[in-house]
Amino acid sequence: MLAVAGAGAVVWGDLVPGTPGWYLWADVGGGVLACVGLWLCRRWPVAASLVVIALSVPAAAASVAAGIAALVAALYRRPPAAVAVGAAWVAATLVRFAWRPPGLAPYPVWALVGVLFGGAITGWGILARTRRELLASLAERARRAEADQRLRAEEARRSERLGIAREMHDVLAHRLSLLAVHAGALEFNAGARPDEVAEAAGVIRTSAHQALQELRAVISVLRESPSAELPLTGLAPLVEESRRAGMRIELDENDVRFADLPEATRRTAYRVVQEGLTNARKHAPGRPVTVVVSGAAGGELTVEVRNPLPAGWEAAVELATTGGGAGLAGLEERVSLAGGRLERGSTDGGGFRLAARLPWPRERPHE
């Protein structure tokens, strides 16, 4: 519309008496072609703009369309191409002013106006294009940042769920297996004395109470307060609980004090022994278990749980419906996160061995 208005104003001026006749025909034809050429400038910014600019040399009516074409080229092409098109527009304007002097001022004044106007159009287009690209880049960065944030949030939720599942299995599987052992003893020992029944019921009540306490500690993972977990002062209480359930356990701590261990190492070692005793109670009932803890600061802590396999092990595996390997898989992940490695498998003597090697720095890190 601006190009048509400019062309119309020039043609209207050509109707004044004294204007050369070819001015009118050149302006009408060149103005129409230049206005039509503007529709092609977005598709072919450089080529179409140069054609429109060339039409503005003989036809002053195409001058406004030529300026718009130079602006479009600066908006849609890189600065070198935009500067070239702008220079072409300035050159065409200088030639037209020399061929068709506009009057009212000397040629040098109109030449300066043409140069300044061409520089302004080209600079405006380059600035607008740069700003548009910057906004697009910022929008893309914001989109990627939002996607990365969603990914990190999902990863954090998945990690939290895995942590909760690991804690649930490590804590509750041990307690519930103790409850199952004592409840099974009451079920199959129908002729038990009242004092034996009372003792078993007391153990069940105590184990259930401790299971509830440890469940509250597991829930604290959701609140990001792992320090709320029950204090792990050593393996003796854990081993004593299993002994009361009828297990034969030999514990050798080799003068290793749990209080000297880093928090992560202490917690992981406790869970390794807990998982080993739980599995031995489920899959090798009645068999003796050996728990060995060794190591020194500045090296590594070794926690090992061994037990011989019961007779008819293949049948026992088929009948064992509790668990599906999730405990050992979670334990392996826990040991790996603590910077150690987990070893498991059968021994040369026909038993099963579960061992973890955990880092033990010489200086306890600040917690």
pLDDT value at residue 322: 44
Show the domain range for 87.
Answer: 2-100
Q: Which helix (H) or strand (E) holds 329?
A: helix 326-337
CATH code of 332's domain: 3.30.565.10
Report yes or no on 351 lying in a domain.
yes
Mean pLDDT of 96-102: 77
Number of domains in the chain: 2
Mean pLDDT of 46-54: 84
pLDDT at 21 over 50: yes
Mean pLDDT of 123-150: 89
Q: Which of 100, 134, 165 is the last residue of a domain?
A: 100
Q: How confident is the model at residue 326 (pLDDT cuts 50, 70, 90)?
A: low
Among the listed residues 26, 57, 323, the one whose alpha carbon sits nearest the alpha carbon of residue 173: 323
Report yes or no on 21 lying in a domain.
yes
The tokens for 275 are 């998982």
Cβ–Cβ < 8 Å for 207, 179:
yes
Report yes or no on 20 lying in a domain.
yes
- Cα gap 27→3, rounded to integer Å: 12
Q: Which of 52, 80, 100 is the last residue of a domain?
A: 100
pLDDT at 216 over 70: no
State how far the alpha carbon of 332 is from the alpha carbons of 12, 222, 269, 325, 339, in Å.
89, 22, 12, 11, 11
pLDDT at 105 over 50: yes
Report yes or no on 274 lying in a domain.
yes
Write the pLDDT tens digit of every residue in 253-294. Answer: 888 888 888 887 888 888 899 888 888 888 888 889 999 999
Report yes or no on 243 lying in a domain.
yes
Write the pLDDT tens digit of every residue in 52-71. Answer: 888 887 777 778 888 888 88
pTM equals 0.44
pLDDT at 225 over 50: no
**Exposed (0-12), middle (13-18) or buried (19+): which is 256, by Cβ within 10 Å?**
buried
* Average pLDDT, rounded, for the chain: 78
Report yes or no on 75 lying in a domain.
yes
pLDDT: is 75 or 184 the higher one?
75
Q: Which of 100, 118, 136 is the last residue of a domain?
A: 100
Least trusted range by pLDDT, from 98-102, 321-325, 335-339, 361-365: 321-325
Report yes or no on 190 lying in a domain.
no
Report yes or no on 189 lying in a domain.
no
CA dihedral 226, 228, 233, 235 (to 10 degrees): -60
